Amino acid sequence: MKLICQRSDLATAFQTVSGVVPTRTPKAILQNVKIEAQSGMVTLIGTDQEVGIRYRIAEADVQEPGELLLPTSRTLAILRELHGETISLESDEETIWLRGERAEYKLSSGDPAEFPVVSDFQEENYHLISPVILKQMIRRTLFATDTESTRYALGGVLIDLQGEGLTLAATDTRRLAVVEGKCTVHGSPESPATPPVIPSKAMSLIERSLGEDQSEPVWFALRNNDVMVKTSHTTLYSRLVEGRFPKYQDVIPKSHTASIELLASGFYSAVRQAQIVTNEESRGVDFEFSAGLLTLRSQAAEVGQSKVELPIGYDGPDLTITFDPRYVAEFLKVLEPEQQVRLELIDSESAAVFRTGDGYVYIIMPLSRDR
């Protein structure tokens, strides 16, 4: 095999595909990235056998078609350090040469025929989703998953595709993120009776795959045990998470006693300031709502205390509720600075609801004030 391509294109592709390559595995071959070159198209393939990805580089000079395996971590290091606009790859049965500007690397080659197959997108029935919308929806839910939970369904994002409606939801039992969007239908895709859950690793990889090219929609095909996703440059396969996702609709309070309008940028700044004087033992911040003012108070032994004030448009009764500031900050971080947020409260012990005007709902359980 022999090819020449832009170093930046290969580095971007390799960085994306490396997201699925396992750092530890009994199958050493999985720690490689497979490269297929034919007819001007170069495809990078990676998998951990739960999630797999194919990344296409369309603009490449393929002088001799073929396949090879590259060790992931070492190749990433080479691509970071090489100079020059182009890079060439050449291989025979035992050796691979990578050449850049005034640098050449010779690496041992494994047998690409032994690498697991990662199928391309071949579905006829699927949903089409705007990459801009999908990227935003993933960012607004992925952070709320619990990747360390033994309850496996919490380690992923629920996806509910009903006709032209799309809902993503994620929870770690202490908070819940739900966002709604639109999609279109191609063919006759079936909607599962129970919405499936896609692993956090796969959702993160999908988000990373949604690059600067936002002209082509994302193709999304749900199957019985897995999902296939095609973007402008990638095709991604993932098995679904086993286990049952909580009935998230039942968690969202149906009423409230207080409603406060907040600007994301100012609120985020105040939360970050209050978060400074917290520690693992005393990480709660009191959010004190009074007429025209929000006061955030935090106190931690051997650290100190803080008081942060933020003028707000509120004229209801005084109300104090305690939150883990990390959970509030992570929500505000994924919003645009100019985004308006409505906070709905019942009392100091009930779940609080944050809403935006574009179909995003975020629920946080308060901390006990006897901390």
CATH number at residue 67: 3.10.150.10
Give per-residue pLDDT as tens, 67-125. Answer: 999 999 999 999 999 999 999 999 987 899 999 999 999 998 889 999 999 999 999 99
Question: Does a structural domain hold residue 370?
Answer: no
Is the domain of 168 the same as that of 58?
A: no
Average pLDDT over residues 10-27: 93
Cβ atoms of 199 and 50 within 8 Å: the answer is yes
Question: Does a structural domain hold residue 371?
Answer: no
Give per-residue pLDDT as tens, 202-228. Answer: 999 999 998 766 778 999 999 888 999
Q: Is the pLDDT of residue 288 over 70?
A: yes
Separation CA 52–CA 45 (nearest Å) = 7
Give per-residue pLDDT as tens, 311-339. Answer: 999 999 999 999 999 999 999 999 999 99
Mean pLDDT of the chain: 93
Question: Does a structural domain hold residue 278?
Answer: yes
Give per-residue pLDDT as tens, 161-184. Answer: 988 999 999 999 999 999 999 999
Better-predicted residue by pLDDT, 149 or 208? 208
- Find the angle CA(178)-CA(181)-CA(182) to the nearest 5 degrees: 155
Give per-residue pLDDT as tens, 253-278. Answer: 999 999 999 999 999 999 999 999 99
Is the domain of 262 the same as that of 281?
A: yes
Q: Print burial letters for 207-218: b (CB count within 10 Å at least 16), e (below 16).
A: bbbbeeeeeebb
Tell me whether strands 285-290 and 258-263 are parallel, antiparallel or unpaired: unpaired
| Res 370: pLDDT | 58
| Res 152: pLDDT | 65
Is the domain of 55 the same as that of 147?
A: no
- Residues spanned by the domain of 237: 126-249
Q: Is the pLDDT of residue 151 over 80?
A: no
Percentage of the chain modeled with pLDDT above 90: 83
Is the domain of 58 the same as that of 89?
A: yes
Is the domain of 240 the same as that of 276?
A: no
Cβ-proximal residues to 250 (8 Å cutoff; 6+ apart), any chain: none
Better-predicted residue by pLDDT, 18 or 147? 18
Is the domain of 182 the same as that of 229?
A: yes
Decide which of 225, 249, 273 is a domain's last residue.
249
Cβ atoms of 351 and 253 within 8 Å: the answer is yes
Query: What is the tally of structural domains in the chain?
Result: 3
* 348 closest CA partner among 316, 315, 309, 319: 319
Q: Residue 9 corresponds to which amino acid?
A: D
Is the domain of 130 the same as that of 242?
A: yes
Separation CA 294–CA 274 (nearest Å) = 12
| Res 281: pLDDT | 78
| Res 369: pLDDT | 62
Decide which of 249, 281, 310 is a domain's last residue.
249
Is the domain of 358 the same as that of 260?
A: yes
- Helix intervals (H) in 143-247: 200-209
Question: Does a structural domain hold residue 48?
Answer: yes
Q: Is the pLDDT of residue 371 over 60?
A: no
Task: Tell me the two tokens of residue 225.
Answer: 């045990």
| Res 147: pLDDT | 78
Better-predicted residue by pLDDT, 212 or 66? 66
Separation CA 164–CA 166 (nearest Å) = 7
Confidence of residue 141 (pLDDT cuts 50, 70, 90): very high
